Amino acid sequence: MTNGTQPRLVVLHGDDLPPGHERFAADPRLASVDYVTADHLAEALPGARALFVWDLFSAALVAAWPKADSLSWVHAATAGVDNLMFPGMVSSDVVVTNSRGVFDQPMAEYVLGLVLSFAKDFPTSHDLQRSKVWRHRETERVGGKHALVIGTGPIGRAIARQLAAAGMTVEGAGRTVRTSDPDFGTVVAACLDFDGSEGLSGALARADYVVVAAPLTDATRGLIGTRALNRMKPTARLINVSRGQLVVEEELLRALRAGRIAGAALDVFESEPLPESSPLWEAPGVIVSPHMSGDVVGWRNELVDLFADNLDRFLDGRALRNVVDKERGYVSGT
């Protein structure tokens, strides 16, 4: 460190420690490494310079924040950092970095798999097989269909490229409107407008598949509700791999039951794990998965490798990777 002192690292974890975590404690540039769960975070934070949030979606730092008297860097083992964007953090000088890059391609492949599941009716084939029923059906083409990807960051871009490779046309919805984007072609503003055919309202009406891949911010919370769903085609499907709070579940259920859209694939939910009592389990045309769209074999090791690289940069006084624009909740430069 440039000030000549050895910093202390705190690792916030849940049931499991990061794989290969022993290398952190072995680093002579660190004074110490403390591994704590959420209920002990406040005790460990005083004097700590760096925090690695391995407890993926924990909001424990909010309550423990008054004890963070020396903190200068927080790294999240997730792409989304909404759990860290509380007012005290946003207004502070603490640098936040995330795990951008680890999940992009796995999530893109997962979304393509969901599109294929809908188009080729794989859920019905599975159910008929279990019932030993032979029922011939016709399925839909994927090529030539139109997808709207809400969220034009790295994950949204990977999704757009994957869907385009399957023969779909793709447009995006994001912060900056443009007409010649290399991955989306056209990007509309990611906010609902009802003053014409332009913008998100018009893009929803054009889409056969609406993919939600935007970060959770004040601007995106509840974005997909009745107004948005009413703009979609009755044959369209919704896919959410971002955060559950971007979709208003009660309003989505009403749309599904009324046949206003044809289906939804949900990997994220307002409350997780999804309660057994949730009607989404049995709602018509719904595919449920347990927040796993980016989790492929080896993903935990990739997360730790990324953090270890950033830790080297932090200890050497070099620029960190994946710095988040805290005012917007986005990675800087995207």
* Active-site annotation, residues: 243, 272, 291
Distance from C-alpha of 204 to C-alpha of 279, rounded to nearest angstrom = 25
What is each CA distance from 76 to 58, 100, 127, 132, 235, in whole angstroms?
10, 10, 39, 46, 38
Distance from C-alpha of 190 to C-alpha of 101, rounded to nearest angstrom = 22
Burial class (CB in 10 A: 0-12, 13-18, 19+), 255: buried
- Identity at 323, one-letter amino acid code: V
Rg of the Cα atoms in the chain: 22
Distance from C-alpha of 200 to C-alpha of 149, rounded to nearest angstrom = 11
